[in-house]
Amino acid sequence: MEKGILLIDFGSTFTKVTAVDLENPGVFYTAKGPTTVDEDINIGLEIALENLARQIGHLPYFEEKLACSSAAGGLKMIAIGLVPELTLEAAKMAALGAGAKLQKVYSYTLTKREIAELISLKPDIVLLAGGTDGGNKEVILHNGELLAQSELTCPIVIAGNKNTQDELEELFINCNKEHYVTDNVLPTLNKLNVDPAREKIRDVFLKNIIEAKGLKKAEDTIDGIIMPTPQAVLKAGEFIAKNKIIDNCERILIVDIGGATTDVHSFSKGEPQNNGVVFRGLPQPFAKRTVEGDLGMRYSLNPLIEALDSESLLKHETQEVEKMVGEILSDIWSTSSIRDDFEEDLAKGAVDLAVKRHSGYLEITYTPHGINYLQYGKDLTDIQLVIGTGGPIVNSKNPGGILSGSLFKESDNLTLRPKIPKFSVDKGYILSAIGLMVEKYPMLAKRLVEVNFSIIKGGN
Amino acid sequence: MGNKTIVTGVIGADVHAVGNRILDYAFSQAGFDVVNIGVLASQEEFIQAAIETGAKAILVSSLYGHGEMDCRGLREKCEESGIGEIILYAGGNLVVGKQEWEPVKEKFLEMGFNRVYPPGTLPEEAITHLKADLNIE
């Protein structure tokens, strides 16, 4: 490789680099080094590049260097709305879709106690929503005033009732608080509008947050830190689904198991599929991301085991489970002694629970005309492809077994999980790198997807 | 906007969608901002929609005869939710079987509804009432 582009992912622990050959599409190399936010982010990046050079034989000329980051806690956000099921839910979707980690959410009028708690959480951005356009004004104005007068120092993105924008802007200007106004996340009850808020969050992330995270130091080396890592994964998924790149599948689910969280991304409309089903609740976005903070294979191992039903762990003796958990937790990054089948069961359990929480569900209602069904959330039964990524899946000998945790279950037939999907694995662990490329290098990204992903056993 | 926002929908386990659409159309034509939450709607959904949109009235439709059961407690829940003053209308086949209208009406007024309409009422009647109740025009 002589000429390539470099894609960097500053993770919480590792800095991962991917070099893509510009002249031979489909050829790529990956390497990693530690993430060194505390000293200088460039130190870890240098190590990763040295490892990369060792593989290729030399370091190629990089025409462009693009990066995403979840280092230093990623993008930590707080979402505020009015009714929990309505504008707060819309605000949550906007923040998660921007790749944020939600620390806490608040609804209705904020109390001083809540403001104090919010400040103590040290968020990177606060998203303030509430009221449909022309709807309730009092609550968002009350909350805006408390925030404006508080000691909060982070930027505030305002995406609520448009009829409160002028007043809120004035409040924040008077208190000299950094703020950004954008379109309402829920202009009317039947219309979700999260894209403008997502874009604004991304702008603010670019403008301020990377500096606060010590990533600014890498800016001379790279051409730009573009987005939080989860947003890169979301972009990659959207690209793969809309262009039907893998086996012509256009309705896709991505499951990403990490050490602290399990992320699920779905790309489909998720509308009811039968006549007798009535959709209730908030409209759903085509690209939807949920994050399960209690389901992870390392930092969140204990809550994961607590959440699993005993069936998944029954084949292992309790004592043995405790011993293995102890080993994992005592040395989080060295897992050489952990048995594969145990890791696999845990990973399958994490996929099972995370996909269950992400999927929509039916509620039965008895009417004088017979049984009717109410659908909340997305119907994912017609998902065609489930893609697995994240260390526990990518490094597993039996990824199909782990991904089978995502499937529809007769014993839980009101949860609308995928019924007959195919399975694929992110072999080269490059999903976020693909997300970084899709805007500027769609053809190269497409070729990379074709090379990296293939259909594996276990699915249909 | 604001003063002319109303929430409409069909309450309970009732799936009658047509009358609801007609009401949506008629009230929209009359200048109201209609937030139509559709069929099979629960009391909570009416209230949540009213809070979020700052609606001034909730218009509940019911055609399948169980309206009394479905509407009971709505006023109290509105009060608990901080929108106790909101105008509440109900209309349709509100009770089981063929009952005399006056006692039915009384029952609904006691339940905290401001106006109640029997089957066959034209939308214009309710529109005129709502304009009066909201001091519009």
CB contact under 8 Å between B38 and A278, yes or no, is yes
What is the identity of the amino acid at B40?
Answer: L
Task: Give the DSSP H or E segment for A298.
Answer: none
Separation in Å, CA A263 to CA A77, A100, A354, A389, A443 = 16, 11, 7, 10, 27
Minimal Cβ distance to A189: which of B2, B40, B52: B52
Token pair recorded at residue A181 = 């106004």
Of B1, B39, B51, nearest to A278 by CB-CB distance is: B39
In chain B, residues with a C-beta closer than 8 Å to the C-beta of A365 are 13, 40
Residue A297, CA distances (Å) to A326, A358, A389, A404, B133 in order: 13, 18, 13, 17, 60
Closest-approach residue (CA) in chain B for A364: B13
Strands, E, within A150-301: which ranges?
156-158, 179-181, 224-228, 252-257, 262-267, 277-280, 287-292
Q: Is residue A231 in some structural domain?
A: no
Q: Which two tokens stand for residue A176?
A: 């000299």
Please, where are the H alpha helices in A308-430? 310-313, 318-330, 340-358, 391-394, 399-403
Same domain, A79 and A67: no
Residue type, A143: N
Return the CA Rg of chain B: 13
Domain assignment present for residue A364? The answer is yes
Please report, for the domain that includes residue A38, its CATH number.
Answer: 3.30.420.40
State whether A277 and A416 are in the same domain.
yes
pLDDT at A299 (0 to 100):
86
Asked if B54 and A367 come within 8 Å (Cβ–Cβ), the reply is no
Structural domain includes residue A36: yes
Q: Do both A187 and A273 map to the same domain?
A: no
Q: What pLDDT, on the 0 to 100 scale, is given for residue A223? A: 85
Residue A65, SS3? strand
Task: Quote the tokens at residue A131.
Answer: 């009221």
Residues A251 and A183 in one domain: no
Does B13 belong to an annotated binding site? yes
Q: B32: closest CA among B58, B12, B65?
A: B58
Q: Determine, yes or no, domain membership for A401.
A: yes
Same domain, A317 and A412: yes
On whether both A59 and A85 belong to a single domain, the answer is no
In a shared domain, residues A55 and A79: no
- Which residues on chain A are in Cβ contact (under 8 Å) with B66? 368
Residue A167 maps to which CATH number? 3.40.50.360
Paired with A19 in beta bridges are A6, A29
Note whether A87 contacts B14, CB cutoff 8 Å.
no
Count of CB atoms situated within 10 Å of the CB of A108: 19
| Average pLDDT along chain A, 460 residues, taken 10 residues at a time | 94 92 94 90 94 95 94 93 95 96 97 98 97 94 98 97 97 97 95 96 90 82 85 97 97 94 97 90 94 91 86 79 85 71 92 97 86 94 97 93 96 97 96 95 96 87
A109 touches chain B (CB under 8 A): no
Domain count, chain A: 3
Domain ranges, residue A172: 75-205
Q: Minimal Cα–Cα distance from A214 to chain B, Å? A: 40
Domain boundary residue, one of A141, A174, A205: A205
Closest CA to A28 of A425, A450, A397: A450
* Closest to A132 in 3D by CA, of A159, A172, A93: A159
| Strand ranges in chain B using DSSP code E only, listed in sequence order | 5-10, 33-36, 57-62, 87-92, 115-117
Instruction: Give catalytic residue positions of B.
Output: 14, 16
Residue where the block lists tokens 């509008």: A193
Question: Could you identify the residue written with the tokens 């945790």?
Answer: A405
Shortest Cα distance, chain A CAs vs residue B94, angstroms: 14
Which CATH number belongs to the domain containing residue A410 in this structure? 3.30.420
A369 and A297 in one domain?
yes
Judge whether A430 lies within some domain. no
Phi first, then psi, for residue B58 (nearest 5°) are: -115, 125
Residue A396 lies in a domain: yes
* Cβ–Cβ under 8 Å, residues A253 and A418: yes
Q: What is the pLDDT of residues B32-62, one digit of tens each?
A: 999 999 999 999 999 999 999 999 999 999 9
The interface pTM score, or ipTM, of the predicted complex is: 0.82
B94 is in an annotated binding site: yes
pLDDT tops 60 at residue B2:
no
Q: Last residue of some domain: A154, A179, A205? A: A205
Structure tokens at A110: 């904020």
The DSSP bridge pattern shows strands A252-257 and A262-267 to be antiparallel
Give B 55-84 residues with CB within 8 A of chain A: 55, 64-66
Q: Verify whether the Cβ–Cβ distance B15 to A367 is below 8 Å.
A: yes
Cβ pair A425, A393 in contact under 8 A: yes
Q: Which residue of B has its CA nearest to A370?
A: B13
Distance (Å) from the alpha carbon of B104 to chain A's nearest alpha carbon: 21
Asked if B14's CB is within 8 angstroms of A367's CB, the reply is: yes
How many CB atoms within 10 Å of residue B133?
A: 15
In a domain, A179, yes or no: yes
Task: Tally the residues of chain A.
Answer: 460
**Choosing among B15, B18, B52, B96, which should be mutated to test the A contact, i.e. which has the most A CBs within 10 A?**
B52
| Domains, in order of start, for chain B | 2-133 (3.40.50.280)
What's the N-to-C CA distance of chain A in angstroms? 37
Chain A contact present for B33, CB below 8 A: yes
Q: By C-alpha distance, which of B36, B38, B26 is closest to B5?
A: B36
Structure confidence by residue, pLDDT tens digits, B68-78: 889 999 999 99
Residue A121 maps to a domain: yes
Instruction: Characterize the bridge pairing of strands A277-280 and A252-257.
Output: unpaired
pTM for the complete prediction?
Answer: 0.91
Does A45 share its domain with A88?
no
The answer to whether residues A273 and A419 belong to one domain is yes
| Contacts across the A-B interface (CB distance below 8 Å) | 69
Q: Are residue A27 and residue A156 in the same domain, yes or no?
A: no
Q: What is the C-alpha to C-alpha distance for residues A15 and A35, in angstroms, rounded to an integer?
A: 5
Task: Provide the shortest C-alpha distance from residue B54 to chain A (in Å).
Answer: 4
Whether residue A134 and residue B5 make contact (CB cut-off 8 A), yes or no, is yes
For residues A67 and A172, state if they share a domain: no
